[in-house]
A and B are shown apart, each in its own frame.
Chain A
Amino acid sequence: MTISLRNVLLVVGVAALYILEGSTTFWIFSGSWDSALKMLNFALIGAIMSLGVNLQWGFAGLFNIGIMGFVALGGLATVLVAMPTTPGAWSAGGWQILAGLAMGAITIVGAVKMYAYLPKGWLRNLMTFALIAVGFFAFRAVFDGGVAGVEAINPAATGYLGGLNWGGENYKDYGWLTVVAWPIGGVLAAGAAWIIGKTALGLRSDYLAIATLGIAEIIIAVMKNEDWLSRGVKNVNGLPRPVPYEIDLQNDLGFVERAASWGLDPTSASTLYTKMGYAILFTVFLVALLWLAQRALNSPWGRMMRAIRDNEVAAEAMGKNVTARHLQIFILGSAICGIAGAMMTTLDSQLTPTAYQPLRFTFLIWVMVIVGGSGNNFGAVLGGFLIWWLWVMVEPLGLWIAEITTAGFDPDHWFRIRMEDAAAHFRLFTMGLVLLLVLRFSPRGLMPEK
């Protein structure tokens, strides 16, 4: 990237937004470093997701609006890796569940192969259908038994298989496992992306969009319903953390002394310390991914991708395998979203399937990419920071607007109450407005592709 004055100003401007939030109570800012760091942590995750989407849309022109699904899969990976194994769950039905799933997979693969090899005709359709029907009922017979066994184990607290954490009671001592779970979240998302890409990537853009939207909904539906996997809507709470607990820090004399020398009380020092810990971890991942994405963009591979994006027919005529390249970049981009999803679940310390909303986890990320500048990695990251700031600050901003527009009214005048209620709904409206304004007046984003 050439360092232009405009880009420097943009970066400084966005950084200033976060610093102001921490340092001043002026206007809509809260003047709390705690809130600024919290915002920064989510922005870092948002920037990583935005990087992933930029890879798909900016490099290759793939229109994926199923980001939420990959993010959720990443979150699932955190649970599957970092939570303790539920005692007895595997023997009570875990293996049976796996056997059932394997049977289901064999049925599907068998049906696909059978359809491919049998000669065309009604016999082929009938036999494929029969195989699927028989396979489905066999799968349900095996699978349901296993599920019942697992879900019967102490349903109020566990009732699921648990993860791979071998710590048992002391599983929270193995907090570093969550960081291991991040790349695994990426792998899980990549696996899902492979299956989706194999079936849906041949479709043209609108169809791919609908297909990915649907798959994301299905992934969330599975996570809400399959209690044996992640407790469904009962949520998994108390995930271990890669950073120390506030309470441990407050009981640590050395830490309290050091905090005092900085002029901080132990409570706020400990929350700042943990949030800083997360911020550093996330920044390391963001920088690493950004570096990789930047290398990819400037490599021959990146040039080929852009060539395919700009003219598929010409690229194909040059002997490039468009479908394979699309699949490749679809998997890579989705994997990055999975990593970000795993980070987010770690930061929340819980997995809440109902919290996954497409507006927040899919369309917001798209706003980040478009506003930042599709095709430019730095732009996508910048967009992530800017839009996340806006997403958080729109509420105080709305209250401020409500305040100045209703300054002359009684506190219980209907107009005032209406405006204060409305401040909460201001968020989606603003996001849409920003997206439309950028698309109209600066369609290449704030930091355009070169």
Chain B
Amino acid sequence: MDFLNAIVAFSNYVLVPGAAYGAQLALGALGVTLIYGILRFSNFAHGDTMAFGTAMTIIITNGLLALGITFGPLPTALLALPFGIAATCLLVLFTDKLVYKFYRKQKAAPVILVIVSMGVMFIMNGVVRFVIGVRDIRFTDGERFIISARDFKEMTGLKEGLAIKTTQGITVVVAIFVVIVLFWFLNKTRTGKSMRAFSDNEDLALLSGINPEKVVMVTWMIVAALATTAGVLYGLDKSFKAFTYFQLLLPIFASAIVGGLGSPLGAIAGGFVIAFSEVTITYAFKKVLVYLMPDSLEPTGLVQLLSTDYKFAVSFTILIIVLLFKPTGLFKGKSV
């Protein structure tokens, strides 16, 4: 019984939140990795693209709610998501035309594009603050829990409860759906195959008649969809704040690099590696160990390896370790 309690406590505090966070990071990292694969630069504006998409979705959600439209037990934001994606698509395509295209034509060095993306980051950050302000916004509605801690305790008779929030469930389901669609697209459709060809060898792809502008356009649209979805899921699960999204940049990049930049599969693996290590290392294990250890050995402290504020340090340390020992990431990524 104690053993079961320990497992439930561990799932409640580490596994479930870790899985949801991992799915969010994975979606974000997929966007970063696609841009890196096709456009060949690290996009620093990615966090702010996520913030923009989420801001748009929140505005549309509010509009829907004002019209009296809800999504039953699910958050209304899911209904608004496609519109948010469309708005973000327009923004990134517009940015590409106005900003990035010039440097692509010039064949500018990747590092110049990174600096350009810093400028885009500033502008998007300003736009998001302009549109929605800097406040902390919660926009989750509908059922709060798939299963609440109390129901779980009553059902199983265990001392520990396992709560699964609706948003956590949705995050994982949506993420799986998105990843399946993405991989189907990349592997089975003509456009997807031309994207992979372009990513593997640009010159060869150009020789075989692939239209680079079309590939780039499709990439930006996919990235907009991924970024908005990741942003909305993160916002539903926690809350929306422009600055938090900017800070997500670090774990997202860490995920993409740990997995291997340019490798979609790696981005997903990286997302979960980073998320679980952050949650595990900053979790106070006392609650779990209380059940596993005999009474005499019960821990007195919290048995927390590092305080929660050091979660950046965790993602970063993993990043450094991977870079030092396996520079191309867990799944063979590119190196420019």
Contact = CB atoms under 8 A, between A and B. Distances in A.
Interface string B92-113: 0000000100100000001110
Given A206-B114, A210-B42, A217-B312, A435 B129 contact: no
A69 to B, nearest CB: 12
Contacts of B316: 211, 214-215, 217-218
A439 B312 contact: no
Interface in B106-161: 110-112, 114-116, 118-127, 129-130, 133-134
Given A221-B312, A439-B119, A199 B99 contact: no
A136 B303 CA distance: 13
Contacts of B118: 363, 366, 435
Contact of B254 (A199, A214, A363, A367): A214
A225 B120 contact: no
Given A366-B115, A433-B123, A425 B129 contact: yes
B172 interface: no
B69 interface: no
A314 interface: no
A136 B305 CA distance: 9
A205 B115 contact: no
A76 interface: no
Contact of A439 (B112, B124, B250): B112
A402 to B, nearest CB: 12
Interface stretch (B77-85, B263-271, B317-325): B317-325
A200 B327 CA distance: 11
Contacts of A428: 122-123, 125-126, 129
A149 B2 CA distance: 36
A382 to B, nearest CB: 19
A209 B114 contact: yes
A363 B110 CA distance: 18
B20 interface: no
A124 to B, nearest CB: 12
Contacts of B125: 359, 428-429, 432
Contacts of A204: 335-336
Contacts of A421: 133
Contacts of A439: 112, 115-116, 119
Identify which of A211, A370, A436 gathers the most chain B CB atoms within 10 Å of its CB: A436
B253 A210 contact: yes
Interface in A195-223: 199-200, 203-207, 209-211, 213-215, 217-218, 221
B32 to A, nearest CB: 10
Contact of A432 (B41, B120, B130, B336): B120
A207 to B, nearest CB: 6
Given A63-B111, A199-B324, A370-B115, A214 B319 contact: yes
B324 to A, nearest CB: 7
A326 B232 CA distance: 41
A426 B114 contact: no
B110 to A, nearest CB: 7
Identify which of A136, A363, A432, A435 gathers the most chain B CB atoms within 10 Å of its CB: A432
Contacts of B312: 214, 217-218, 221
A215 to B, nearest CB: 7
Contacts of A211: 316, 319-320, 323
B21 to A, nearest CB: 17
Contacts of A358: 246
A206 B42 contact: yes
B257 interface: yes
Interface of B: 41-42, 99, 102, 110-112, 114-116, 118-127, 129-130, 133-134, 246-247, 249-250, 253-254, 257, 261, 305, 307, 309-310, 312-313, 315-316, 319-320, 323-324, 327, 335-336
10 smallest beta-carbon distances between A and B, as pairs: A432-B122, A429-B126, A432-B123, A214-B316, A435-B119, A425-B129, A428-B126, A436-B119, A206-B42, A217-B312
Interface of A: 61, 63, 136, 199-200, 203-207, 209-211, 213-215, 217-218, 221, 224-225, 358-359, 363, 366-367, 370, 421-422, 425-433, 435-436, 439-440, 443
28 contacts: A199-B320, A200-B323, A204-B335, A204-B336, A206-B41, A206-B42, A206-B110, A206-B114, A209-B114, A210-B42, A211-B319, A211-B320, A217-B313, A221-B313, A225-B309, A225-B310, A363-B122, A366-B115, A427-B126, A428-B125, A429-B123, A429-B125, A431-B122, A432-B120, A432-B124, A432-B126, A433-B122, A439-B115
Given A429-B122, A440-B99, 5 more contacts: A199-B320, A213-B253, A217-B250, A218-B316, A429-B125
